[in-house]
Amino acid sequence: MCGIIGCFSEKDCYGRLLRALKKLEYRGYDSAGIALVHKNRRLHENYRLIVRKKKGYVSALEGAVISGDTGIGHTRWATHGVPCDRNAHPHVSGKFALVHNGIIENHAALRQELCEHGETFLSETDSEVIVKLIDRNYAGDFFAAVRAACARLEGSYAIAVISADHPGEIICARCKSPLIAAAGKGALYVCSDAPALAGEAEFFCPANDGEYIRIAEGKILFYDSAGNEIKKSFLRLPAQIAALEKGDKSFMEKEIAETPQALSDTLKSLHRTDFAPCARQLRGAKRFFAVACGTAYHAALAFRDRAEECLHIPVLCQTSSEFRYRSPLIGEGDVLVAISQSGETADTLEASRLAKERGAYLIAVTNVAHSSLAALADFPLLLRAGPEIAVAATKSYVCQLLAVFYLTAQAHFFKHTRMPVWFFELEKLSETVRAAEECFLQTSHLAKQLSQTFGMYYLGRGQDVVTAMEGALKVKEIACVYAEGYAAGELKHGTLALIEKGFPVIAIATDKKLAKKCENALAEVKARGGFCALFSQYEDVLSESCADFCCRLPSISEPLMPVVSVIPLQKFACEMCLLRGFDPDKPRNLAKSVTVE
């Protein structure tokens, strides 16, 4: 979603904003803008706002620097109004400029009311109503005007506002959208998330929902929803975030390469985690619920597969967006496992809030320790995947699988006082995943062969269905190839109709007892002229198959194979993306953190 930044710095404020916006581009990149309070040389007016905003990437803002020590910036992911210069943020009304991340749900009613009072709008965005409200509520007290405007808003927002009447001041508000304050050498910041400040800030402090941040007189101040000043503690920016650099390759390639390290860091952290506080819930649960979105939803499905098999209790798994609106039968005594890399995905947060309201116990699997989801959870289960910047989730997915499998093993222990057998192979996971990199040469050949395809299927049985779905999502998302991930057994029930000469089908077969069934599905594809590729750790499964392309995966205990088999599929998607001329870090229409519904 949109990224917002605010900066107060006597030195290089514009440059700092620009650098942060470049790092925020993973949150949205259909347009970008900056506004600064600029000291006017003309005598009759001391300060004025200068705004530069453009459709496209942040690089469009490079060039002439705007001077000034107080500024805000924005990378947009359009919700209301097409990407164009006019709809780009900052939005201005009178002496105020504003950037916004979120969605104002009552914007239409507010716009109508404002129009009836003679206001005219320059954009189609929901955000412009906020700056108009601030302007109308202003009677000399900047902070009071922002609070009065926020009191009228329904929906989600993190905003940063500057005013030509208040040089040196930035006022921010947070409601269901992430916002942090940060301090670095010679600069104070507010920002939608910490990675934007890599190399710039040393300390940070997240705001909670309903809180305000005010940068004024060279200080960062926090206020509660009633406008009373509150004291908060700042934390050192984690070293991995502070050192975030892409290098020559895309973030996606870098993050795939970091997976073995991410796994071993996550495993160490899981070993250190005290599960005793949730022992009663894990032992006593008659069923689990699991919610997540996108790739994280695939981790939820993998949790379902492993937990049902190990614990013999049902796991009801749903995408977060559907869970909320289906009157879920969740209540006291139930455990909800919510999975989210960012911990800020709006639907997952709302599903979790709903479950908690109904008395369920919330376990949150997240990669961001200071996220809203972690704060909401009864038991946060933290990944140590390190910052993931690429929109496509790779190392975080693999670590999510590790964490939910680990959770399953703990529940098994609390129920049966012993760990499942595969638990003892977790130590080998990182090196097995590293060994999977040997498949990359082959996947690169496969990508060359298939790069011009208009569509493809991914098939699997049992635990491989989820891997098929994740493989398909990845290639759709970054290579813009139409793809579907399916249970191979469903092929004959409709999908087969689309198979014709050369149509590519990728199958994953890591479960020996189901491998023959997967092979049968491939034979049916082959009989209709389709192109078959097969990934398995079993030499005999590969050699006996009819596949045109075979890739031998490194082997580990079967229940852990979903962690390994997805690695070549991630790399394949990345290769396809590059061959098709796309940027893996900027997938069309997508943003890393989906903080709006």
Query: Which of 344, 381, 426, 383 lies closest to 258 in space, CA to CA?
Result: 383
Angle at which helices 294-311 and 464-479 cross, to 10°: 180
**Candidate list 2, 175, 278, 518, residue with the active-site label:** 2
Measured between alpha carbons, how far is 299 from 293 in angstroms, rounded to an integer?
Answer: 9
Adjacent-strand bridge partners of 487: 460
**CB nearer ligand M6R, residue 295 or residue 430:** 295
Q: Which of residues 476-535 bind ligand M6R (CB under 6 A)?
A: 477
DSSP state of 176: B
Alpha-carbon Rg for the chain, nearest whole angstrom, is 25
Q: Which of residues 291-320 bind ligand M6R (CB under 6 A)?
A: 293-296
Binding mask 393-432 for ligand M6R (x = CB under 6 A): x---------------------------------------
Adjacent-strand bridge partners of 319: 292
**CB nearer ligand M6R, residue 184 or residue 294:** 294
Strand 229-230 and strand 219-223: pairing? antiparallel
Measured between alpha carbons, how far is 12 from 32 in angstroms, rounded to an integer?
Answer: 19
Query: Which of 24, 28, 31 lies closest to 588 in space, CA to CA?
Result: 28
What's the closest the beta carbon of residue 477 comes to ligand M6R, in angstroms?
5
Strand 155-163 and strand 96-104: pairing? antiparallel
The answer to whether residue 175 is catalytic is: no
What's the closest the beta carbon of residue 311 comes to ligand M6R, in angstroms?
24
**CB nearer ligand M6R, residue 488 or residue 594:** 594
Q: How many CB atoms lie within 10 A of CB 587?
A: 23
What's the closest the beta carbon of residue 400 comes to ligand M6R, in angstroms?
8
Cβ–Cβ under 8 Å, residues 341 and 239: no
What's the closest the beta carbon of residue 594 comes to ligand M6R, in angstroms?
5
Q: Give the CA distances from residue 441 to residues 38, 64, 394, 445, 572, in Å, rounded to whole numbers and listed in that order.
A: 54, 45, 18, 7, 10
Residue number of the CB atom closest to ligand M6R: 294
Measured between alpha carbons, how far is 382 from 393 in angstroms, rounded to an integer?
Answer: 16
Measured between alpha carbons, how far is 148 from 110 in angstroms, rounded to an integer?
Answer: 13
Measured between alpha carbons, how far is 44 from 433 in angstroms, rounded to an integer?
Answer: 67
Place of tokens 């916004």: 100
Binding mask 331-370 for ligand M6R (x = CB under 6 A): ---------xxx--x--x----------------------
Q: Is 554 in the site for ligand M6R (CB under 6 A)?
A: no
**CB nearer ligand M6R, residue 134 or residue 241:** 241
**CB nearer ligand M6R, residue 60 or residue 375:** 375
What's the closest the beta carbon of residue 24 comes to ligand M6R, in angstroms?
16
Size of the site for ligand M6R (CB under 6 A): 15
DSSP state of 208: P
Binding mask 378-397 for ligand M6R (x = CB under 6 A): -------------xxx----
What's the closest the beta carbon of residue 391 comes to ligand M6R, in angstroms?
5
Q: What single string gives the DSSP state of each residue in 417-477?
A: SS--GGGGGGGGHHHHHHHGGGGHHHHHHHHHHHTT-SEEEEEESTTHHHHHHHHHHHHHH
**CB nearer ligand M6R, residue 90 or residue 587:** 587
**CB nearer ligand M6R, residue 295 or residue 510:** 295
What's the closest the beta carbon of residue 222 comes to ligand M6R, in angstroms?
26
**Candidate list 23, 474, 476, 592, residue with the active-site label:** 592
The answer to whether residue 7 is catalytic is: no
Binding mask 247-286 for ligand M6R (x = CB under 6 A): ----------------------------------------
Q: Which of residues 458-477 bind ligand M6R (CB under 6 A)?
A: 477
Q: Which residues bind ligand M6R (CB under 6 A)?
A: 293-296, 340-342, 345, 348, 391-393, 477, 593-594
* Catalytic residue positions, numbered: 2, 592
